[in-house]
Amino acid sequence: MPACEQGSGPEPGPVAPTSGAPRKIAVCLVLAGLTSLYGVTTVEPARVAQDARHRTAGPKLILATTFMGIFLLNLSSMAMNVALPGIGRDLGGSTAGLQWVVDAYTLMFAALLLSAGALSDRIGASRAFGAGVAVFTVASAACGLAPGLGELITARLVQGSAAAIMLPSSLALVRQAFSDAAERARAIALWTVGGAVAVAAGPVAGGVLASTLSWRAIFAVNLPVGIATLAVLTRAERSPRRIAPLDPYGQLTAVVALAALTFAVIDGGENGFGEPVVLGCLGLAAVATAAFIMIEARTAAPLIPLDLFRSRTVTVSVAIGFVVNAAFYGLVFVLSLFFQDVLDLSPMATGLMFLPMTAVIAGANLASARAAARFGPRFPIAVGQAVLALAMFGLLWIDVGTGRPVIASMLVPVGLGLGFFVPSLTAVLLNDIAADRAGTAAGILNSFRQTGGALAVAAFGALLAHGDEFMSGLRVGLCAAAVMLTATTVASLTLPRRQG
C-alpha cells in the first residue's frame, strides 16, 4: 500500500555514481533470487509426497506467516517516507535520487504484479512465497548495508521485485491452508489486516527507528522476520503446480514503459523537461506502451486482457484505483518533506503526525462493508473519494504557521476516505467479471494502484524540485490530486448501485 531533501536540510548533492560495489551487490542479489526460485522448484513429486508426512505447520501458523509477509511489504513502503531526509544526509543525493529510493521499490512492485500470479500458479504458491521472502530478506540486508545511494536504489529494485511475488502467493497459501469456506473467509479477512496494520504502523515505526537508531534499522527488522518465515515454510505442505502461461514480452515492455516514464518525470523535474535525455525517455515510454498494447492484443495469454476494458465498471474501477493511490502516495511524500525539512520535525515526530490518519483506515474498512451491504457498493466508493477530495482541498491552506495538532487532525479525513472506499471498489470490480478472471482483474487493479503511487512520487517531487518555493509546489500537487479525485468521484456514479 511514501520524501527528500528540501528547505532547511543540507544542500543536495549528486547521486552517488555507480561503481563496482553496486554491481557486485546486484549480481549477488540476482543470484540469490534465482537460487531461491529454481532451487525450490526442482523437487520431485515423489520426494514431495515422502516429505509431506514430516511437515507440521498448521493452517494458523501458515496464516501468521503470510500475515507477517504482507505486513513487511507495506511497512517497507510506508516507513521509508520519514527516513528519506536522513538517507539524503548520510548518503547524499538530490531530490531526484531520493525519489528513486521510493520509486525503485514501487515501480517493480507495480510492473511485476501483472505476471506474479501466473508465476505463483506455475511453480506453486509455497515455492513462490518462499523465493520471494528469501530475495526480499537478502535485498533488505543489502539496503541496510548500502554504502551509497546507487547501491540502495539497486537493492530497492530487487526488494520490490520480490514483493510482487510475495503478494499473490501469500494469498494463495491462505486459500490452500483453509479448506472450510467459512474459516477461509475469516483467514483472508485477517490476512488483509496485515496490510492495514502496516500502513498505520509504518510511519511511526520508521520514525522511531530512524530517530533512535538509524534509517538502516528499518531494513534490519526485516531480517529476523524473513528468516523465521522461511523456517516455517520448510514445514509447510508444498503447493501444487498449475499450468499458467506467461507473457514475457508483455511483461518486458510494461517494465520498460513504466521505468522510462518514471525516469522522465523525475529527471525532468530536476533538470528540465526539454533535456534530450528526458525527451528520449518520454519517446521510449510511448513506443514501449504502443508495443505493449500490440502484444496484449495478439498474444493468447495476455497480462492484461484488453477486452476486460470493454466493461465500464472495470475501466472506471481501475481509473479510480490509480487516482486514489496517486493522491495518497503523493500526499504522504510531500508532507514527509514538509514536516522534516520545513517544520524541522524529527523523524519520530513526523511519524506521529501521520498516526491519526493511518489509525482510522482499518475502522473505515469495516464501515465500508456495512455501508455497501445497506446502500450498495457505489455509495462508499463515491463518498470515500469525495471525502479525500475535500481533504486535499482543505490541506491547501496549511503553512509554516499552522499548528501541528491542526495539521494532524486535517489528515484524519484522508485516512477515513481511503479506508472507506477500497473494499467496495475491489468488490464491485470482481462482481462484474467471470469468476475465472477474478485473479487477473484483481492483479490489474492492484498494479494500476501501485503505478499511480509510483508516478505520483515522481510528479510531486518534480513539482517541488522545479518550483521556486516548497509551498507553491506542494499546493500545486494537492490541487491536482483534488481535481483528479473530483473527476473520479463523478465517474464512480456510473458504477452499479447494487451488487448483481
pLDDT for 364-413, tens place per residue? Answer: 877 887 888 888 888 889 999 999 999 999 998 888 888 889 999 999 99
- Alpha-carbon span 39 to 45, nearest angstrom: 14
In which residue are the cell numbers 539496503 written?
A: 143
Domain boundary among 244, 262, 279: 244
Q: Is the domain of 236 the same as that of 251?
A: no
429 CB-near residues (< 8 Å, 6+ apart): 313, 314, 317, 318, 441, 442, 445
Q: Is the domain of 64 the same as that of 177?
A: yes
H or E segment and range at residue 295 = helix 276-298
Phi, psi at residue 324, to the nearest 5°? Answer: -65, -45
Q: With 80 as the cut, is the pLDDT of residue 46 above it? A: no
Q: For 400-438, write each residue's pLDDT tens digit.
A: 888 889 999 999 999 898 888 877 887 787 777 765 566
Q: Is the domain of 240 the same as that of 264?
A: no
Q: Is the domain of 420 the same as that of 277?
A: no
From 28, 72, 48, select the one nearest 198 (Cα to Cα): 72
Q: Is the domain of 161 the same as that of 231?
A: yes
Domain boundary among 209, 225, 244: 244
Q: Is the domain of 142 the same as that of 261?
A: no
Q: Is the domain of 74 the same as that of 187?
A: yes
CATH no. for residue 55?
1.20.1250.20
How many domains are contained in the chain? 3
Got the DSSP string for 164-211? HHHHHHHHHHHHHH--SHHHHHHHHHHHHHHHHHHHHHHHHHHHHHHH
Question: pTM of the full predicted structure?
Answer: 0.76
Report which residue type is found at 480: A
- Alpha-carbon span 129 to 272, nearest angstrom: 42
Q: Is the domain of 439 the same as that of 486?
A: yes
Q: Is the domain of 240 the same as that of 255?
A: no
SS3 content of the chain, % helix, strand, coil (to 5): 80, 0, 20
Q: Is the domain of 378 the same as that of 271?
A: no
Q: Is the domain of 131 the same as that of 196?
A: yes
Q: Is the domain of 276 the same as that of 216?
A: no
Q: Report in angstroms the alpha-carbon separations of 411 from 34, 351, 387, 395.
A: 42, 13, 11, 8
Domain hosting 293: range is 247-300
Q: Which of 114-118, 177-181, 282-286, 378-382 has the highest mean pLDDT?
A: 282-286
